[in-house]
Structure 1
Amino acid sequence: MKYSNSKWLNLLLLAVIWGSSFILIKKSLLGLSPYQLGALRTVISGLLLFSVGLTSIKAIKKNEWKWIVITGFLGSFFPAFLFAFAETEIDSAVTSVLNSLVPLNTVLFGFAVFKIASTRRQILGVMVGFIGTSILILKGAELNPEQNYLYVGFILLATCMYALNVNIIKKHLQYVKPLSIATGNYVAIIIPAIVVLLWSDFFNTETFSNPFFKTSMLSVVVLSIFGTALAKVLYNKLVQVSTPVFASSVTYLMPVVALFWGILDGEDFGPIQILGSLIILVGVYLSHKRKR
């Protein structure tokens, strides 16, 4: 009973944290450029992970560092910038729903690139998810003509990177501890992030004089502490006290939280978009449903 309560509590906390990350990205962009946001998020998250996991990288073998570097850029570095650029044009609620394509893309890349066998149900899930994505994008462009829905491409690219990241970890880093992988990732990407931050003119008086600067910085710090560092700990604990299948169900709850924040912030989200979102989630469910 104790473990049952613990897993549900962790699941709900994780859904709230990750589901709220999209609105935090939106608020961060009020006073920061996408380059500044992506770089700051990476640097702050890296420093937090170093404070608790720097000694854990000793367990990483020499031949594993290649994959650590690759997963660092695919799973953390590039997506931090891609989501920031996407939300300069696309509402946070839509972004959160499209992020749910990660499990579908994981199945797709696992089959196409890594030769991991897929069931008919999983293939059907990918097809259903594609239909829902098309409805969400097309209706969103119609409902919000002032937004450039070509920026959806940034989100789709990020979900593909996340999917490749998961498959690489599964195939090449299966026996490396999660904290070691996460810390090693940021060892690889923190220097490039600092270079981008310096190049982005962050340390410019114009940046600090922006009336939204304090709000943006607070949002970035909260995003880094909770959305990255704490979320990784919660997710690892969730997998330990439950199962990977149960842990993956956070994918269904995140958009609900993000939609709540988006609508509260005045974003337009019509009935057809809700239908498209539900179709995507059905696709995710089909792709992860296990036979008894």
Structure 2
Amino acid sequence: MENNRTRGILILIFIMLVWGSSYAITKSIVATVPPMFLAFIRFFIALLCLLPVYVRHRRKQKDLLTLPDYVRLVFMGLTGVTGYYILFNYSLLYTAAAVGALIQGFIPIGIALFGIIFLGEKVSRRQIVGIIISFVGVTLVGLITNDAGRETNTILGNLLMLASVLCWIAYTLLSRKSNHLDSITTTFLGGCAGTLLLLPAAAYEYAYLDAPIRMEIYDWMAVVYFGAISSALCYLLYNQALKTLPAAMVGNFLNLDILVGVIIAVLFLHETITTWQVVGGVLILSGLFLSSKGTHTA
């Protein structure tokens, strides 16, 4: 059991390092590659990578999925693929990558809060205080703008990022409710559902473009990285980690994603964040510290 826990933690650290790079990379290409088209091609590549793994797996595993399983997988695709990445990509058209990363700091607290409500995970008074503090922090980060001269509507971008956070919380809780299924099945079939739901949105967006999409080699490298590593591999590992660790603990590690995202955005995109946004980030992390106390593996 302890070895599984340690392995799960190491997996989560790797995932957060990869996902932490997504803010800056998405910000750098989203003006060239339209948001919904980017989300679709990313997951199309991811499914191509996962297909041989899934086919090989299904030859060994003959377990049958029930109707509730299929319904849950469709909603996992809707929240963790379609909804999350449309909102995530569009938000980075309007707000800074560093600010978007800070707003994602609400995910761990949201997972803990909704895990309490829907999964029956236990909570202490200290954890409740931590959730409240983090909520205040997210409010400061999300509603205070810092580069109105460069971004067209920063508050809109922040609200879209917050909506993507809610989608990811739902995806995580649905994945936890699917613990009886293996991670390859949930990742591939959930990804298929989400990608199919993305197709009409991406087609509509492509049909009404003002000019053809012209992707440079960097854009293609970014899309392949997103599809093969950030999506196919990391989604698989994320769902695997959720089988050995409780939702609240998995959520806690998402703050490493935030830290990496902010550092990369500041160093490579030369972004700045306001003093109040720094205060909000500190509150988010402080709330996380409080809420993580007393969290035990299931």
Q: Which residue of 2 aligns with 1:20?
A: 21
Q: 2:5·2:245 contact (CA, 8 Å) conserved in 1?
A: no
- Deviation (angstroms), 1:189: 2.6
Q: Which amino acid aligns with 1:227?
A: S
Does residue 127 of structure 1 match 2:152? Answer: no
Q: Which residue of 2 aligns with 1:192?
A: 197
Q: Which residue of 2 aligns with 1:39?
A: 40
Most deviating of 109-118 and 176-185 = 109-118
- Deviation (angstroms), 1:285: 2.7
Q: Which residue of 1 aligns with 2:54?
A: 53
Counterpart among 277, 284, 290 of residue 273 in structure 1 = 277
Q: Which amino acid aligns with 1:180?
A: T
- Deviation (angstroms), 1:79: 0.5
- Deviation (angstroms), 1:92: 1.0
- TM-score if structure 2 supplies the norm length? 0.82
- TM-score if structure 1 supplies the norm length? 0.84
- Deviation (angstroms), 1:291: 6.0
Q: How far apart, CA to CA, are the structure 2 residues paired with 1:180 and 1:169?
A: 11
Does residue 92 of structure 1 match 2:93? Answer: no
Q: Which amino acid aligns with 2:195?
A: I
Query: Do the aligned partners of residues 205 and 58 (structure 1) sit closer, same or farther apart at CA in structure 2, a change above 3 Å counting?
Result: farther
Deviation digits for residues 129-187 of structure 1, max 9, x if unmatched? 11111222243x1x22233212212111111122122223333x121111111111022
Does residue 162 of structure 1 match 2:165? Answer: no
Q: How far apart, CA to CA, are the structure 2 residues paired with 1:82 and 1:229?
A: 20
Q: Which residue of 1 aligns with 2:232?
A: 229
Q: How far apart, CA to CA, are the structure 2 residues paired with 1:116 and 1:246?
A: 11
Q: How far apart, CA to CA, are the structure 2 residues paired with 1:274 and 1:52?
A: 42
- Deviation (angstroms), 1:273: 2.0
Query: Do the aligned partners of residues 290 and 87 (structure 1) sit closer, same or farther apart at CA in structure 2, a change above 3 Å counting?
Result: same
- Deviation (angstroms), 1:5: 8.9
- Deviation (angstroms), 1:100: 2.1
Q: 1:28·1:217 contact (CA, 8 Å) conserved in 2?
A: no
Q: Which amino acid aligns with 1:102?
A: I
Measured on the aligned residues, the alpha-carbon RMSD in Å equals 3.2
Q: Which amino acid aligns with 2:265?
A: G
* % identical equivalent positions: 21
Q: How far apart, CA to CA, are the structure 1 residues paired with 2:175 and 2:7?
A: 27
Q: 2:106·2:134 contact (CA, 8 Å) conserved in 1?
A: yes
Most deviating of 118-127 and 6-15 = 6-15
- Deviation (angstroms), 1:252: 2.5
Q: Which residue of 1 aligns with 2:70?
A: 65
- Deviation (angstroms), 1:289: 2.2
In structure 1, runs of 5+ residues without a counterpart are none
For 1:99-110, what aligned pairs fall within 5 Å after superposition? 99-110=104-115
**Matched residues, number:** 286
In structure 2, runs of 5+ residues without a counterpart are none
Q: 1:31·1:213 contact (CA, 8 Å) conserved in 2?
A: no
